[in-house]
Chain A
């Protein structure tokens, strides 16, 4: 870890001034990933601009048009346990609580959750080739131990996965990301926020330096009746997903009015396939129909030496989680499979 300056910002304007002083300056919120990256010498910040003192963005508010806005500086834990989220957006609450550990969720913020870096072993080891860390150096994961890596949307340059659970639910819920900068404000649809690796794997998302996430807006529709989050991983807590699935269903009896299915742990961003969701529209909620949707979601999936199992696992997980969404009470702590 290099020596860096620290500056606290109590006003948004000041935060932008400080962060724009140097391209190597970074915002600091919960720090649960950023501090690790500094310790691993993967991020060499000149200055950390602490945005925790900003007076706004620490709460949850309902907007006049019935949407809900999550403050970027609210912690993951306070979001997951907020009555409005537990009641109206239980899928989001479930997904957040399947991630990290209680201690990390108490520190990590909503804005930061979107910006966490991949957990690819090779990205974290500064002494081995990695295109994400050092563009052009090569990818060690493709010929290496790639059990945890992506099966969808990969490129010849990078097969890393985006590790968030929360974002899988946000993707399914069609959230938007509210962003501010010295130039003004903009909103980014969730599907446009994270990127696929392509030939620019060093870019995780479309946020520019100097831009700050101030909030996440949830549409009115929360799918609070039929939802489920399932996370499959190498231990029951404090491990990243090998495959996770967020399902949200709007049902009329056993007829599906609308379906949302997002996958985590399989790609460089949360993975949604519109055709699969359209396929389910006006169909009955059966295993067979969910299986057909799963096939569409996984179309084009490509396994590597140690992670081909993810293709079959993801298919089964989609089917199971959709069945669980018919009975949300069947969900287990830690987003484990139903009993």
Chain B
């Protein structure tokens, strides 16, 4: 009997029972005898110099082992470059405990190592530090208009600068009859994954380390540690089988990794460093961004001119960039475009990627302005998008490899009931509530990077697949198992996927919605190679029923190689290994690479259409997202269940971004004020109502052999603008600052 393919099936997470029963071990849960605990002391000033850290009385506390600061830290690599991880933007990476200079509030300035966590934390609370304070600036809003060009480097491969201007924007805009414009402000956000950042470093002797780390890239951390501390690559093992969310915060090695490794090497002991929730606010964040848009259209609703400018915060030491302004001409092919992106360096830590970096920022401005344009034109916002629909990406003059966005619009609108929308703002009511419908488009690049994977068949007929990739909660473990199962025609129960360990075959950092395409392609390459090997061995077996069959003449199914023409002629995988290979595993390690010759002929992107209903209390302004639907076109969906969960999570995030979460920055103190989950508001159950997800499958033969585009970001990008557009429809008020506070509607 033929198995249905595993890909395309809704399979529950394989590791789910481990997670919900608490059996899954996270990086802070590897306990060994003699483990020491480090607690970080953070700067309480924003800018200046450390004059003195009073460590003597701290060191005298019974149970305190040592205190490390810039004054006594062991020497590490001298050159900046050694600190540059795979995700480092151009500039000079932050080096913990490097010198006396304070670059931002909360900078780690010392590590206290003690026999218990509680003692280390207490010692950190009483340590005294003398500083010399300097004047600082953390206020992006006072810099509208005075940014500078970003430095470009390797980062621009994945984050291209804005395309060159086309046509004559100013002339076209001045002459246009229908125009819309806006100024937008997005505040700082922090990732706040549930799991705290922890590194447990086991000192194995002779320069060897086993490091349990919370990360989105085991190999990235391995490289960083080896480079910074001058260790041999193979002596550093970074293990991260379970990651309790990261959302980009684990893309770069964080300072607890550095400090844990430093202390372990210096003390020749096992050392764990855990950052508490407030310390999670002391590295990396979504940068605050100011934007300005000016769009124009002709009387038929054809968009003619697009101007989008952004001023984004970065640190004084790295030029972190995002793709904020590049998206509008990809969706709406106007003849006259003027796109600009500038950085404003301030006294903060370097921003870092946070789910849908840039896209979720820029698309809010774009889709809000387009919505406004639809009202100017007295056109349905959906019709305006359909009118400007394109299968060509004009920014690169290439067709999309696939684009089922139109189906997302149409099927999404139908299921949502978009036709019931009354065109005028403030025209729909329900009791005390104004009702609004809003919609927006989402777009995200479909990317792929090289990766390696190992596939092995063992004597029990099981397929073992290995990759260093992490599973940050997205379902990677399950999805990779499904892809591997189909390569050999096995049920998923016969596939064992090992991951989250730097000693396994190379995988890049898990980000940018490219993990499934990247690691999936490597697994496919390994699977194909293993099929060849199995067939070759099978044919060599005594009296092999497969004769001289070529790969195209057989099928791999249910644990057998079977002749297509004669299903009776079959050899089991177990027999191949036991009888043909002396019971020894048959192994292969292969590389999956994007087929650039093919890919360069297309523009590649995932798309979404988001439809939202809000209720706004007419008297009090209180806003609830009562219904939301996202229709997603992102290539082949490997696992509808985990995929749906990923989109649902993104939609909750979108509600959060539009209405809830913000890091409060006090510019007079130069610091974040709500560094805890009580005051950093992410949605609670009572904020989440009816959410619906539709997938419009794309059969994309160009993107990669598996037809995968990735789902990590696309679910978020369109949600916030759909909500603010719905608020406009409900109230007639256009709110361009996120998050929206309900009192803005009073």
Contact = CB atoms under 8 A, between A and B. Distances in A.
Interface in A107-123: 119, 121-122
B568 to A, nearest CB: 63
Interface in B607-627: 617, 619-622, 624
Contacts of A128: 669, 671
Given A1-B125, A127-B44, A145 B673 contact: yes
A309 B741 CA distance: 11
Contacts of B118: 1
Contacts of A145: 664, 666, 673
27 contacts: A1-B121, A2-B122, A3-B122, A121-B664, A125-B671, A140-B666, A140-B668, A140-B669, A144-B666, A144-B668, A144-B673, A145-B664, A145-B666, A232-B622, A235-B660, A235-B683, A238-B684, A309-B746, A310-B743, A313-B746, A316-B746, A317-B620, A319-B619, A320-B619, A320-B620, A336-B622, A337-B617
B684 A235 contact: yes
Given A121-B664, A122-B673, A316-B620, A1 B746 contact: no
Nearest to A1: B122
Contacts of A236: 624, 684, 686-687
A143 B431 contact: no
B666 A334 contact: no
B681 interface: yes
A171 to B, nearest CB: 22
Contacts of A28: none
Contacts of B671: 125, 128
A119 B660 contact: no
Nearest to A239: B681
A338 B743 contact: no
Contact of A237 (B617, B620, B669, B684): B684
A312 B685 CA distance: 28
Interface residues of chain A: helix, strand, loop or mixed (majority):
loop
A333 B686 contact: yes
A334 B687 CA distance: 11
Interface of A: 1-3, 41, 119, 121-122, 125, 127-128, 140, 143-145, 147, 232, 234-239, 242, 309-310, 312-313, 316-317, 319-320, 333-334, 336-339
A235 B666 contact: no
Nearest to B739: A234
A339 B434 CA distance: 11
Interface residues of B, number: 35
Interface in B637-673: 660, 664, 666, 668-669, 671, 673
B660 A234 contact: yes
Interface string B298-336: 000000000000000000000000000000000000000
A232 to B, nearest CB: 6
Given A127-B44, A144-B666, A339 B431 contact: yes
B540 interface: no
B703 to A, nearest CB: 39
A259 B621 CA distance: 26
Contacts of B55: none
A125 B673 contact: yes
B433 interface: yes
A194 B142 CA distance: 41
A313 B743 contact: yes
Closest 8 CB pairs of A and B: A236-B686, A309-B743, A121-B673, A127-B44, A237-B686, A237-B684, A339-B431, A337-B617
B678 interface: yes
Nearest to A101: B684
Contacts of B44: 127
Interface of B: 44, 118, 121-122, 125, 430-433, 617, 619-622, 624, 660, 664, 666, 668-669, 671, 673-674, 678-679, 681, 683-687, 741-743, 746
Given A145-B666, A339-B432, A339-B433, A234 B121 contact: no
A336 B433 CA distance: 12
A113 B139 CA distance: 38
Nearest to B675: A125
Nearest to A44: B125
Given A140-B666, A337-B622, A312 B746 contact: yes
A159 to B, nearest CB: 15
B432 A338 contact: yes
B669 A121 contact: no
A1 B741 CA distance: 35
Contacts of B430: 339
Given A232-B620, A235-B684, 5 more contacts: A1-B122, A234-B660, A236-B687, A313-B621, A338-B432
A101 to B, nearest CB: 8
Contact of A313 (B620, B660, B686): B620
A88 to B, nearest CB: 27
B686 A337 contact: no
Contact of A242 (B121, B679, B743): B743
A233 to B, nearest CB: 9
B740 to A, nearest CB: 11
A119 B680 CA distance: 13
Contacts of A121: 664, 673-674, 679
Given A125-B673, A232-B620, A119 B664 contact: no
Most buried by A among B431, B674, B678: B678
Contacts of B678: 119, 238
Nearest to A3: B122
Nearest to A144: B666
Nearest to B106: A127
Contacts of A242: 743
Contacts of B741: 147, 234
Contacts of B431: 338-339
Contacts of B664: 121, 145
A242 B673 CA distance: 17
B481 to A, nearest CB: 35
A234 B741 CA distance: 7
Contacts of A119: 678-679
A234 to B, nearest CB: 5
Nearest to B621: A313
B676 to A, nearest CB: 8
A161 B378 CA distance: 47
